């Protein structure tokens, strides 16, 4: 009756996982996306390029080794955009091949072009040939992703004034840069360019950056970035940006003027739903292009689902993948467990941040008793070996039953070792598990035992005095 049992609009992380999950259940599946966007924004302009750029920056600048070899240590003296782009493009090409092979192995049809709804069971696909093809489906998954939001008042030229997708295509490493917005993406790029020697100024209208993170860890990041000559302008807004022949002039609401080679806007993201003709399928999107879904990721139209960044928070590649899988299973009538609430957050600044569970502020606001256990990388043999003297791991522990309430990591490998805490919390484990466990030596994971001992000693002292 239909060309496909499941049609996926978008080939990013959520779209891939939805397609593969349905194919594994024996459904006829196709993905619609542009030829140059296989893998979506994640692979081509977002997550993968930016994280690869970060690794290239860390390696070529020698930044992570300067505690060992001195502050002047560099692998390459004059780092160019070509040096950075070579590694980035290599990884993009490899990842694209992996995705293409995965789709082929699972017999998922890749339909090249842009799709728009014709009705709730059909799309028109424009492959750029001048004629559109009508494709029908039983169920559909919208995984169109997002693009950087661009304020109408700003004249973006993708050279001097850029957004977070365009920053990876700069022609030269700028000598100075203004980053507008101290969110996750803004701070990741601010730290990367600061490591390259760019004089970075961060302008943020709020009084804090990354206000969903542990305050002590955010302060550690700010200290480290200030050491790289980053200037913060909190409680300020950019009133206007003037382009000049060799630079840009940022005028802040408070009257201050900042000259920079490059201005990067990181002002949130907009759902890519404008060209989907949602109304033809009986759907609507909000002013940010986001689509509302229920707990099973089904939209207001019974046979159409939406997943990934296009449905809003948390808009992470990790959660988007799981949303795609769960949506496909529900669409195919397959039972599935809901996604757990316990999800790690990873921020790839330099140094990186990762956490799972509650912050100290959240526990304080909810009047939940907790004790803090801290391990510092400089006290670990592995920390000395890798040259990380600033990293730390913090455990938030319930003094009554020893449950882990939150784990926060700052420094080398933070986004990797956070999963130990996630596993213990997810399995209902307590701090006693970490106290009794034997960790490989020397490792950064050993920080869990050190922090657990610190928390346990504090709890024991309180119990001894308080009874």
Residue 184 annotated as binding? Answer: yes
Q: Which CATH number fits domain 351-466: 1.10.287.110, 3.30.565.10, 3.40.640.10, 3.30.390.30?
A: 3.30.390.30
* Percent of the chain surpassing pLDDT 70: 100
14-32 burial, b at 16+ Cβ within 10 Å, e below that, comes to bbbbbbbbbbebebbbbbb
Q: Rounded distance, CA 119 to CA 283, Å?
A: 10
The annotation status of 467 as a binding-site residue, yes or no, is no
pLDDT tens profile 272-289:
999 999 999 999 999 999
Task: Flag whether 183 is marked binding.
Answer: yes
Residue 441 host element (H or E): none
pLDDT of 181-204, one tens digit each?
999 999 999 999 999 999 999 999
Query: Is beta strand 262-265 parallel, antiparallel or unpaired with respect to 257-260?
Result: unpaired
421 is in an annotated binding site: no
| Domain extents in the chain | 4-147+270-332, 161-267, 351-466
Which residues does residue 124 pair with via DSSP β-bridges, in sequence order?
Answer: 116, 134
Q: Is 188 annotated as a binding residue?
A: yes
Structure tokens at 213: 């993170």
Please compute the mean of the pLDDT values over residues 126-131 and round it to a whole number: 88
Q: What is the phi/psi pair of residue 116, to 5°?
A: -140, 145
DSSP alpha helix (H) spans, 228-351? 317-331
pLDDT value of residue 446: 97
pLDDT in tens, 154-182: 999 988 999 998 898 899 999 999 999 99
User: Is the peptide bond preceding residue 351 cis, with omega within 30 degrees of 0?
Assistant: yes
Q: Binding residue per annotation — 82? A: no
Helices 13-24/317-331 angle, 10° precision: 30
Q: Are 416 and 443 in contact (CB under 8 A)?
A: no
Going by their DSSP bridges, the two strands 353-357 and 371-376 should be labelled as unpaired
Please give the backbone phi and psi of residue 184, each rounded to the nearest 5 degrees, phi first: -60, -50
Please check if 181 is assigned to a binding site: yes
User: What residues contact residue 323 under an 8 Å CB cut-off, 6+ apart?
Assistant: 14, 297, 307, 308, 311, 339
pTM of the model: 0.94
Residue 376 has pLDDT above 90, yes or no: yes
Same fold, 4-147+270-332 and 161-267: yes
Is 110 known as a binding-site position?
no
411 labeled binding residue: no
115 known member of a binding site:
yes
Pairing status of strand 262-265 against strand 161-163: parallel
Q: Which of 168, 175, 189 is nearest to 85 (CA)?
A: 168
- Cα–Cα distance measured from residue 188 to residue 190, given in angstroms and rounded to the nearest whole number: 6
> Which class is 4-147+270-332 in CATH?
alpha beta
Mean pLDDT of the chain: 95
DSSP 351-398: S-EEEEE--HHHHHHTT---EEEEEEGGGSHHHHHHT-SS-EEEEEE-
Give the CA distances from residue 264 to residues 30, 151, 170, in Å, rounded to whole numbers and listed in that order.
36, 12, 11
* 61 contacts 79 by C-beta, under 8 angstroms: yes
Q: Is 372 annotated as a binding residue?
A: no
Q: Is 204 known to sit in a ligand binding site?
A: yes
What Cα–Cα distance (Å) separates residue 407 from each residue in 205, 319, 384, 417?
Answer: 29, 19, 22, 10
- Provide the CATH number for the domain formed by 161-267 in this structure: 3.50.50.60
């Amino acid at each position: 009756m239909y060309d496909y049992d499941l049609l996926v609009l978008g080939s990013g992380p959520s779209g891939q996982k939805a397609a593969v999950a349905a194919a594994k259940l024996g459904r006829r599946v196709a993905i619609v996306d542009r030829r140059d966007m296989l893998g979506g924004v994640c692979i081509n302009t977002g997550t993968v390029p930016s994280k690869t750029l970060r690794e290239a920056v860390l390696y070529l600048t020698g930044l992570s080794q300067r505690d060992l070899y001195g502050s002047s240590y560099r692998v390459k003296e004059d780092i160019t955009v070509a040096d950075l782009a070579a590694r980035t493009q290599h990884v993009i090409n490899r990842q694209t091949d992996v995705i293409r092979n995965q789709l082929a192995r699972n017999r998922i049809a890749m339909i090249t072009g842009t799709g728009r709804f014709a009705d709730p069971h059909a799309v028109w696909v424009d492959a750029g040939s001048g004629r559109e093809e009508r494709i029908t489906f039983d169920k559909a998954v919208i995984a169109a992703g997002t693009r950087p939001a661009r304020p109408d008042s700003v004249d973006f030229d993708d050279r001097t004034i850029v957004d977070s997708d365009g920053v990876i295509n700069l022609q030269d490493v700028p000598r100075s840069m203004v980053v507008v917005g101290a969110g996750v993406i803004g701070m990741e790029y601010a730290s990367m360019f600061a490591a390259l020697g760019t004089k970075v100024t961060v302008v943020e209208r709020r009084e804090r950056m990354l206000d969903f993170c542990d305050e002590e860890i955010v302060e550690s990041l700010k200290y480290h970035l200030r050491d790289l000559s980053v200037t913060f302008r909190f409680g300020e807004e950019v009133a206007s940006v003037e382009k000049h022949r060799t630079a840009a002039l940022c005028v802040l609401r408070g009257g201050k003027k900042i000259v920079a080679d490059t201005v990067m806007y990181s002002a949130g993201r907009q759902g890519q739903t404008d060209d989907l003709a949602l109304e033809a399928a009986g759907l609507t999107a909000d002013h940010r292009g986001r689509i509302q879904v229920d707990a099973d990721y089904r939209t207001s139209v019974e046979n159409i689902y939406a997943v990934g960044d296009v449905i809003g928070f948390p808009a992470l590649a990790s959660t988007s993948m799981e949303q795609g899988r769960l949506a496909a299973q529900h669409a195919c009538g397959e039972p599935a467990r809901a996604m757990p609430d316990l999800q790690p957050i990873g921020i790839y600044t330099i140094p990186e941040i990762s956490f799972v569970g509650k912050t100290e502020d959240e526990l304080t606001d909810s009047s939940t008793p907790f004790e803090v256990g801290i391990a510092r990388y400089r006290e670990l043999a592995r920390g000395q070996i890798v040259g990380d003297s600033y990293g730390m791991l913090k455990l938030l522990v319930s003094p009554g039953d020893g449950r882990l309430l939150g784990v926060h990591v700052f420094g080398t490998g933070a986004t990797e070792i956070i999963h130990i805490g996630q596993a213990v919390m997810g399995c209902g484990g307590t701090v006693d598990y970490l106290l009794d466990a034997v960790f490989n030596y020397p490792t950064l994971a050993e920080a869990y035992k050190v922090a657990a001992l610190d928390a346990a000693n504090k709890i024991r002292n309180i119990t001894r005095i308080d009874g």
